[in-house]
Amino acid sequence: MIQYILRRIVTAIPVLFGILLVTFALARIIPGDPCRAILGEKATDAVCDRFIREKGLDKPILTQFGIYIKEMTRGDFGQSIRLGLPVTRLLAERLPTTVELSFSALVLSLIVGIPLGIISAVKHNSWIDVVTMVWANMGVSMPVFWLGLMLAYVFSLLLKDTPFWLPPSGRISPGIPNDPVAQVWGLALPESGFLTGLFDFIGRMNILNALLTANWVLLKDAVNHLILPAVALGTIPMALIARMARSSMLDVLGQDYIRTARAKGLAYKNVILKHAFRNSLLPLVTVIGLSLGSLLGGAVLTETIFGLSGVGRTLYEAITARDYGIVQAFTVVIAVFFVVLNLLVDISYAYLDPRIRLN
């Protein structure tokens, strides 16, 4: 197993290198003067000369690439000129929102998608199967941004003054106390460092923070705000997962060992849950891996619609404002995130299926 994990990590290295190469190349292809593309149209010649020297833009292209890799691996993503902040800090501030959103969407899609898929496989061709599959087919065909806007219309406007009302934007209502966990626990953390960063990160994820600090007002408010974006973002993965769960379950249910288990008199429920479901998990793991891409891409759209200042929305704003520093850094970070998650999916796949790791 360890050997397999090592081998997978080694094969991921060229991909990570390639990501850096692509983002580097994209930044160089941007038409026009790189200095003014990054610093803005109004940069003077003197400023530009200094910038070019500092960034090594006058050096050969290979040296530039070397500098770029060094900066990226050190976590130095440069400055956002527009916001006057280091990109790294921006990332630390905004990544928690995206992680919270994507994670909730994924969890939601799993806890709804898997049971639906199993039920429609077990009750093959029943009305529940038909309804689930019609819904799943529509789910994978829906534009995320449309679903999000329609949800906001229904739950924030049509259901106003009902208990089902949900806020259309933001992460928490004004005035809700959201003291970060480090402060509530009275931890004396150093100025910087891993632990400080970690607690800062947790403190910015409202739901986790609320749970850790037993702040139930914040929990309720944050969950309320998260429902619509999470449903919007989670629908496509949910539909994919339901479809996959159904088809792999149908596959497994047709196997001889299921018939054997039934024939020897095991309870139907046990056969489904213990014999069939476990074996239908494998293809599901692949779909989860595939869904990660749509989650991260969809985050750009969902965050834009629901006014959440996460990585996706920041990226979108950076694009419209031509803030290339952010675009480049955020693209790298999201891609690396994606590669690492896929690596974890592969490893869990190998863990679940010995045939893979032994090959």
Partner 1 sequence: MAQDNKVATLDNEGMGNKSVSLWQMTWRRLFRRRSAVVGMVILGILVLIALTAQWLAPYDPIVPMMDLNPPEPGKQRQAPCIHLLGCPEDQPQHIAGIDGNVRDEFSRLLYGTRVSLWIGLSTVTFAIIIGTILGALSGYFGGWVDNSIMRVMDVLLAFPSLLLAIAIVTVLGPGLTNALLAIGIVSIPSYARVVRASVLSVREMDYVSATRALGGSNFDILFRRILPNAMTPLIVQGTLGIATAILDAAALSFLGLGAQPPMPEWGSMLGSERNQVFTAPHLVFYPGFAIMLTVLSFNLLGDGLRDALDPRLAHST
Residues lying near partner 1 in the complex (CB under 8 A): 14-16, 18-19, 21-23, 26-27, 29-31, 133, 137-138, 140-147, 149-150, 152-153, 156-157, 292-294, 296-298, 300-301, 304-305, 315-316, 319-320, 324, 327, 331, 334-335, 338-339, 342
CB of 159 to partner 1, least distance (A): 13
* Residue 181 or 239 with smaller CB distance to partner 1: 239
Which tokens belong to 207?
């739901």
- For partner 1, give the closer residue by CB, 21 or 219: 21
Residue at 116: amino acid letter: L
Q: Considering beta carbons, is residue 3 or 141 the nearer one to partner 1?
A: 141
* Parallel/antiparallel/unpaired status of strands 79-80 and 85-86: antiparallel
Residue 177 neighbours by CB under 8 Å, 6+ apart? 215, 217, 218
**Helices of type H across the chain:** 2-29, 34-39, 45-55, 61-73, 87-122, 127-141, 144-152, 181-184, 194-204, 206-213, 216-253, 256-263, 268-270, 278-305, 311-320, 324-352, 354-358
C-alpha–C-alpha distance, residues 145 and 130, integer Å: 26
Q: Closest distance between partner 1 and the C-beta of residue 114, in Å? A: 20
Question: 81 Cβ partners below 8 Å, 6+ apart?
Answer: 38, 39, 40, 323, 325
Question: Residue 2 Cβ, how far from partner 1 at the closest point, in Å?
Answer: 23
Residue 206 or 342: the one with the smaller Cβ distance to partner 1 is 342
Q: Three-class SS of residue 80?
A: strand
Strand partners, 80: 85
d(CA 164, CA 155): 7
- Measured distance CA(28)–CA(324) in Å, rounded: 11
Q: Which is nearer to partner 1, 31 or 163 (CB)?
A: 31
Our CB check for partner 1 shows the closer of 23 and 209 to be 23
CB of residue 154 vs partner 1: minimum separation in angstroms? 9
Q: Which is nearer to partner 1, 29 or 46 (CB)?
A: 29
CB of 233 to partner 1, least distance (A): 12
Q: Least distance (Å) from partner 1 to the CB of residue 240?
A: 11
Minimum distance, C-beta of residue 19 to partner 1, in the bound complex (Å): 6
Query: Min. distance of Cβ 133 from partner 1 in angstroms?
Result: 8
Nearer to partner 1, 153 or 164 (CB): 153
Angle at 229 between CA 291 and CA 159, to 5 degrees: 140
